[in-house]
Structures are given as C-alpha cells and as structure tokens.
Structure 1
Amino acid sequence: MGEAGNGGTMLPASTRAVEYRAVPATDRATPQPHPRIGKLPFTHPRVFRRHDRLVDKLHRFRGVIAAVTLPIAVLLLIWAIAPGGGGQPRLHAAAPAAPGDAAAAAVAAGPGAVEEVYSIVLDAGSTGSRIHVYKFERRRDQGGQLLLISDTFEQLKPGLSAFPDDPKKAAASLEPLLATAVRTVPKALRRQTSISLKATAGLRLLPGSKAEDILKAVGTFLKTFPFKLGTDAVGIMDGAHEGAYAWLTLNYLLGKLSSGPDATVAAIDLGGGSVQEAFALPDAEAAAAPGGYVTTLRANGKKFSVYVHSYLGYGLMAARAKVIESNGGKGHPCFAKGSALKYSYADKEYSVGEVEFAKRATSVCGKPESEVARQYSLAEGNAPYFCLDLSFCHTVLTQGFDLPEDTELTLVKQVKYNGQAIEAAWPLGAAIDGLSQE
C-alpha cells in the first residue's frame, strides 16, 4: 500500500493505493451531468489538480473507451465481478499492525478497562438492503480506542426503491435484517446500541416525495425495535459522507490511523451511480478548503479531515446506460458480439441490438457473450458488458484521475483484520465515527 501524502504533497502516483468497489449489475443509480468544477476557489495542486479535467477527458477520450482494455482494468473487473463467496471474494490486503496484540493487551489490562459495544448500520443501496452488526471492544483507558471483534452481515433484495408507491411495504422489507440484529446484540445492550439506516443513490433518484415518504415509514418501523435511534439516524447519505466513511473503513482495517494523515492511504470508490475519491488532509490544508469538500471524522481518539469528491453519473452502471443511450440502442463495439438485450437503469429501459465488433477490438472485446462468460467466470448478466466495464474503468483511472499506466493498484473488497475477512465498505466507517463521538 502506498501512502496518501507526505509533507503536504502527494507521493508519485505509482505509490498511491486506491480502492475499488464494484456493484451488482442491477445497480440503478441515475446518470446525471457533472457540474463544471474547474473554477473552485481552492486551487491547491494536491487536491484539485485533476478535477477540472475529469469531465472533459472522459468526453474527449470517449473513443478510447471503445477500444482500450489494459491489465489493471482486466484485473479489476475479473476480481470485482466474478462470483464466489456470495459475491464477496476474499481479497486480502495488508493486515493492520498486530490487531491480535491489541486484543491481548485489552484482556491483560484487567476488568473495567474494556467495554463491549455494538453498532448497527443498515445500507439501503440501489440493488438491495444490507445490515452490518458490528461488535467492538472499546478501551476507555486509551481514549476510546475501538477494536473490531466481529461483523455480522446479511443482505436481501430488492431494495427500498423497489417500493416507490408503498412506503410501509418498503419499511417492512427490512424485518428479516432487523431480526438478525435482535439475535446478535445481547438483550442487556440493545437499548444502548445505536441503529442507523443510510440510503444511497437508488432511493435518492425517486421522483417527488417518494423517497421522503419511504424514509419516514422506515423511521417509524425502526422505532418498534429495541435499539437507540437518533434524530438523524435515517436519511439519504450524500456522496461526500459515503466516500469519507469508505476511506475511514479502509484505513482502520489497514492500521493506518495511528500517525496522522501522512500515514494514511487514498481511496477511489467505484459504485454504480458515482465514483468517489477520498484522502486525508493536514489541518492547514483542510482549513483552506472550500465548504462541502472536507468531512471531519473521529476514530481511536483522533480527528481526521478527509477531502472527498463524488462524481455523480460516472459509476459503472451509469456508464453502461450512457453508452447505450448515446448510440440510440443500435449497439456498440463494447457490447458482446451477438448481444440482444434490455438494460434497466433508473426506471428506464434501454434496448441493445446485435453488435459486430470493430477489428481493433482485442482480448475480451470481440468475443461472443458465451465465451466471455465461460472464460472469465462472470456473474450472471455481466458478460455482455464486460468489455465496456473494463474500458470504462481504464479510462476513469488513466484519463480521469491521471494515474500512469504502470500505477500499482491495490484492489480491495475485503481486508483481513483480526483473523477475519472484513468488507471494506462505508458502513464500518460510519459505525466507528458514530461510536467515537459517544
């Protein structure tokens, strides 16, 4: 893993670490035009050097998307889309600094030094709902340092956005997940255990008051369970917080939070409807940043200022829809040869006819769907888009974020922590930040 910064400047791109999270093929976050951000008042080269070029470069290099697939993108999508382990392949990154030693030290410290705490986070995504019930040991004698003991995880489909006209049914769909929480948290600790639900892109895109009505019904439903529900516990999470929490999760699991921002790693989080970049800033740079770009987080007795920018409409699923729409449904060189399919995204249907590939397409691009699916063991439904997904990811990395072709990427879906494979996603960061403020 590379470091996110050193002495106020970014290290060479080849040393930076980035995280990617691929999403299921049915993610339906909506593509929206990205605002021009080249005139931001904060012009520190470390933070905004790349942003005024992302939209222009993606447009200028749209032809490249149809032809170029490089090894870094191939590895990315093979690992992220291939089925196995319930869609969560165990990709082990560097383990944090001896978490087992921390647990042993906690036990040795004697009674009263360690407090068992839980946090429940519901992730209402565009393709389904997920619950994480985190168990921690909190060291009161070490500034409230948190040691993750376990993550009880469960998911179901469809998500809340599948019930736009029936808010109560949407809320009731969460009952199996909440039953898991009740079983997991000891009865004596339930009333003091915080529960929250954060919705991401899918719910955000519902028209009118539909999203608000669903969230209101969810809040009412959660009050019937024996957990602590804060006033702002249920809501739609903006891209800044999603990116910041994902950054906190990654750096916590890698043991990077003990020495300040210069020891942390940067994260690029590729979702269905958007892509976020996040990295920590020293206090002086954070103070100079414009409002809305820096999120303050707390973890293990420390405060971190995390710069986050979310590019709505540049997620993987949004890219598919944009490419189909741009060609009027007449096919595209990046769709598998012989494909005839319908693609649903943000309540809109896209039809794709049979495609003949250009001679320049190589490797994945140009192969029949059946051969692509067989050769790369793809999850059902992803084979027709595999060439497009690879090409888009390559373009975002090299043309959007200016990463050189030889950049070393660390691809993370799960991180080995305390003997377990923990999902490197935003809910853990949200739990840590919440518990650190209690």
Structure 2
Amino acid sequence: MAKLGIASISLLSLFALLSLQFCASDAGLLNRIVASGGQEISGDNGRYVVVFDAGKFMTTVHVFNFDQNVNLLKINGSLEVSHQVQEVLSSYADNPAAVAIDELFLLGEKKYEKILNVIRDLLSESPFLYKSEWVTILPGAKQGVYLWETINYLMGNVGRDYSKTVAVLNQDVATVQMAYAVSLKAAINAPKLPRGEEYITAHHIQSNNYYLYSHGYFPYGAYAVRAEILKYTNDSYNYCMTSGYNEQMNYYGEIYNVRASPSGSSYEKCRENVLQALNLKATCYIKNCTFDGAWNGGGGAGLEKIYLTGGFHNTGADVGITNRDIPSTDLKLLEYEELAKVSCGAKSLEEAHNLFPIVPAFDLPYLCMDLVYVYSILADGFGIDPTEVVTALNTVQYEGSSFRVQWTLGAALELVSSKHTKMEDIPNVLLSSHTSNQVA
C-alpha cells in the first residue's frame, strides 16, 4: 500500500505534550482521521497537517491547511478544525498496547519508552510516511520555538528582519519558555556551554531563515513551581497560603504539607520563598544569566517587544489585569505586584473570594503565591523593568479571524515550510545555520 503523507510524533515539556504531525494531500484521508469528531473536512486544495496535542488532561487533534506558499487556508470556514478526546497516556503506563496520552516524563524512562515504541509500531503500519526518529522527547525549548513561530507568523512578521519580530514568554503547567530571534552574527558567536545546552537554533519558516534563542525552564510552570516553593516550608508554615488553609498537595506522588501561618499570608515573606525557588544565585557558567543558571541569550533587538502568553495571561485574567474576551492587553508588571499584595493581605478564603470572585476554587488558596511568583519570575528572573509596558496575548487576528495562541500551529508551520521539494523527504530536524535566504 502506498504511503500517503508524513507522520511525526514528539513530546514537548515535562507534561509531555504529545504531538503527532501528519501531512496528507487528500481531504478524504483527513475525513477518516477526524471522523470521531463528527466533522467532514472541506476546504481549498492544499497541504493538510494534523497535530495531536497530548496535554495533561486530554488529547486534542488540530487540523491545518496550507497553500503552496505556506499561507494558512480555512477549513469549513475556520483556520483550524479541532477535536478533543478525554484520554491520557499515564494511565496506560503498564499497558502500553492500549495507548492514550499524558505525562510521559513523569512515568519514568522505561515506561514512556514502552509507550513510544507502541506508537512507533502503529505509525509504521499506518498509511502515512513515517520515520522512527520522529518519535522523540523534545525539551520545553522547542515548545517556545513553536510559539514564537505561531505568533510571528500570524502577526505577519515572518519575512521581515529579525529586529521586527517579537519575543515570547509562555507559561504552561510544568515549564516556562522564552524564545526570541537573534542576528546571524549572534548565532554564530553563541557561546559553547559546559553543560551542553543548545540555546540558539536555526529555523526555516515560509522561505525565510531565523535564528532563535529558546530555553525551557522546568519546573517553573504554573503548577510545578508550587511544589518547588513548598519545598522550602514543607515542615512548617507557608506564608504564601491564605489564612486558615491546611491541606496536603499530591504532586505526582510527592506529598507536600500546605499549611498557612496562623497570622495569614505575607507578601514579603512569600516573596522570600519565591526568590529561593527561582535559584537566582545558581552558578552562571557564562556571562548574562536569567535564573537557575540559564544563559539569557545575550538580548538584542528581537527581545525589545515581549509578549506574555499562557499562564501569565490566564493568571492576570483571573484577577482582572487581562481579559480572556479580548485579544491582548498592555500592562506593567507593577500591576501583578499590586494585586499580589492585595491577595496576600486577605484574612480568609472568604475574603479572598470576595476580592477575586472568578478565581477557581482550587487555585484560590494559592493566589498570593501565584501572583507573587508571576511578578518575581518576570521582574527578578527575566529582568523585565516593572515599569516597562509588555503585552499579555490571548488570541491573534489573522485575515479577519481570531486564532488562539498555541504551539501546534508552529509545529505545523515547520513541517510545511521545509525546503525539501518532496513531502516525503521532509525531516523533523533543525536546519543548518549555513542556509540561504537569510533574514536574520
């Protein structure tokens, strides 16, 4: 049977965002792929890419359609077709033949390799073109790259000089990712680090080359960092917790005591714990680090405009700094700090709820911690001036449609932007820095 497309599968972030990328040339094949979603695919002729995003709580399939110039085409009147399945991989750790999707890293190497091998076997028997090396674990840095590509593509920045692009700071449940473009000279002169990190990589997008700094910070995502902060007070009171709260948090088998001080939360004392968790004094193997010993990329014109996405936007929306119903919000970090002080001053969960009525009940006891953390990682970790205007981004307008910011579009873009002329020859590897049509 002839192979009909390309299959690639990758795991991004420590919650293992599982991405299976399929390119297919006929809509009939895609009809069968998304049949469980109850939608038929109809759209202009083009190249279709299907990305399965295996997140913490569910698996989502995203279908995109591109023309030969890598312009995004509409499907059924929308920029994408998507469908969610309430299944995760972790529950199948001891039964990999019955594959669903979730946090593979946290299952242990032997268990997630069993699952990945099953997926490799399934893909090798599928009608899609497939290479075993496309089934791999990718760091959070790659997710940052995909987000950078998504946002700059939708904004129309691709094709412009790197200095006209925007930087991305994203927070998911497990990691924080930073990504921005640098010049070719900066890429060539990027330092070699003793720990072997690869901070700057070359990427080909819509016939243009960019050199991107990207790094994924684990465990500094929205939920993972709570465990890190609690480590410093596991056997005593935690001054980030709202008064009256006394529970335990189970974070992937690790139990943390979450006990508020009798005197309640304290902004100053909470911030001390948060700054400890950021590991600001970690050894910096090279000049210019952010936190936890990570190189900051050297800065430059590609970092002048910063967009905050994911948890940074969502935490702001919970307390009224941003709004989920509008595409973006310009703000200053001082706004997070001001509301952190308000939240940390609440004397009870009831008072906290009255102050911030739309914060989910599960997150409310941690609100002081979360706000202090967002302010601290941005101001102290990444060194953003608290008085500088940054933009929290939720959606991007693209050709009259609203597109939610997500890494999956970037993954699809890299696949269809390959310089190889034949679809079956497209590799899922980084381009050499010695390529033509250099923008940066």
SS in 2 for 1:335: coil
- Extract unaligned runs of 5+ from structure 1: 1-26, 31-113, 175-198
SS in 2 for 1:422: strand
| Conserved? CA contact 1:244–1:295, under 8 Å | no
Distance 1:303 1:234 in 2: 25
Q: Could you tell me how far 1:270 is from its partner in structure 2?
A: 1.5
Other-structure match for 1:312: 218
Other-structure match for 1:298: 204
Distance 2:155 2:205 in 1: 13
Residue 431 to residue 392, structure 1, CA distance change in 2 (3 Å): same
Q: Could you tell me how far 1:366 is from its partner in structure 2?
A: 3.6
Residue 358 to residue 320, structure 1, CA distance change in 2 (3 Å): closer
Other-structure match for 1:147: 72
1:325 paired with 2:231, answer: yes
| Conserved? CA contact 2:14–2:104, under 8 Å | no
Other-structure match for 1:130: 60
SS in 2 for 1:381: coil
Other-structure match for 1:212: 113
| Conserved? CA contact 2:396–2:405, under 8 Å | yes
Q: Please report the TM-score for the alignment, with normalisation by the length of structure 1.
A: 0.62
Q: Could you tell me how far 1:252 is from its partner in structure 2?
A: 0.8
- 1:30-63 deviations in Å (ceiling 9; x for gaps): 9xxxxxxxxxxxxxxxxxxxxxxxxxxxxxxxxx
Distance 1:225 1:376 in 2: 49
Distance 1:28 1:335 in 2: 26
Q: Could you tell me how far 1:360 is from its partner in structure 2?
A: 5.7
Q: Could you tell me how far 1:371 is from its partner in structure 2?
A: 4.0
Residue 416 to residue 371, structure 1, CA distance change in 2 (3 Å): farther
What amino acid sits opposite 2:343 in the alignment?
V
Distance 2:132 2:155 in 1: 32
For residue 288 of structure 1, the aligned residue among 189, 196, 215 is 189
Residue 420 to residue 225, structure 1, CA distance change in 2 (3 Å): farther
Q: More displaced, 428-437 or 232-241? A: 232-241
Distance 1:166 1:330 in 2: 40
Q: Could you tell me how far 1:347 is from its partner in structure 2?
A: 2.8
SS in 2 for 1:411: strand
What is the total number of aligned residue pairs between the two structures?
296
Q: Could you tell me how far 1:271 is from its partner in structure 2?
A: 2.2
What amino acid sits opposite 1:254 in the alignment?
M
Q: Which has the higher contact order (CA 8 A, sep 6+)?
A: 1
Q: Could you tell me how far 1:342 is from its partner in structure 2?
A: 2.7
Q: Could you tell me how far 1:165 is from its partner in structure 2?
A: 1.8
Q: Could you tell me how far 1:275 is from its partner in structure 2?
A: 1.5
Other-structure match for 1:346: 252
Q: Could you tell me how far 1:424 is from its partner in structure 2?
A: 1.5
1:117 paired with 2:47, answer: yes
Other-structure match for 1:394: 375
Q: More displaced, 407-416 or 371-380? A: 371-380
Distance 1:360 1:123 in 2: 37
SS in 1 for 2:51: strand
Other-structure match for 1:265: 166
What amino acid sits opposite 1:369 in the alignment?
L
Q: Please report the TM-score for the alignment, with normalisation by the length of structure 2.
A: 0.61
Higher helix share: 1
**Fraction of identical pairs, as percent:** 28
SS in 2 for 1:251: helix
Distance 1:212 1:426 in 2: 24
| Conserved? CA contact 1:274–1:313, under 8 Å | yes
Other-structure match for 1:372: 352
Q: Could you tell me how far 1:272 is from its partner in structure 2?
A: 2.2
Q: Could you tell me how far 1:420 is from its partner in structure 2?
A: 2.7
Q: Could you tell me how far 1:127 is from its partner in structure 2?
A: 3.8
SS in 1 for 2:343: coil
Residue 354 to residue 253, structure 1, CA distance change in 2 (3 Å): same
Q: Could you tell me how far 1:295 is from its partner in structure 2?
A: 2.0
Q: Could you tell me how far 1:225 is from its partner in structure 2?
A: 5.0
Q: More displaced, 292-301 or 213-222? A: 213-222
Distance 1:436 1:28 in 2: 27
| Conserved? CA contact 1:167–1:213, under 8 Å | yes
1:253 paired with 2:154, answer: yes
Distance 1:387 1:156 in 2: 33
- 1:130-171 deviations in Å (ceiling 9; x for gaps): 2211122x14xxxx33224222223344532343222123x2
Map 1:50-69 onto structure 2 (within 5 A): none
Q: Could you tell me how far 1:297 is from its partner in structure 2?
A: 1.6
Other-structure match for 1:236: 137
| Conserved? CA contact 2:14–2:106, under 8 Å | no
| Conserved? CA contact 1:125–1:203, under 8 Å | no
SS in 2 for 1:280: strand
Other-structure match for 1:363: 342
What amino acid sits opposite 2:94 in the alignment?
D
What amino acid sits opposite 1:210 in the alignment?
K
Q: More displaced, 316-325 or 392-401? A: 316-325
Q: Could you tell me how far 1:339 is from its partner in structure 2?
A: 1.6
Q: Could you tell me how far 1:238 is from its partner in structure 2?
A: 1.4
| Conserved? CA contact 2:202–2:212, under 8 Å | yes
| Conserved? CA contact 2:267–2:372, under 8 Å | no
SS in 2 for 1:232: strand
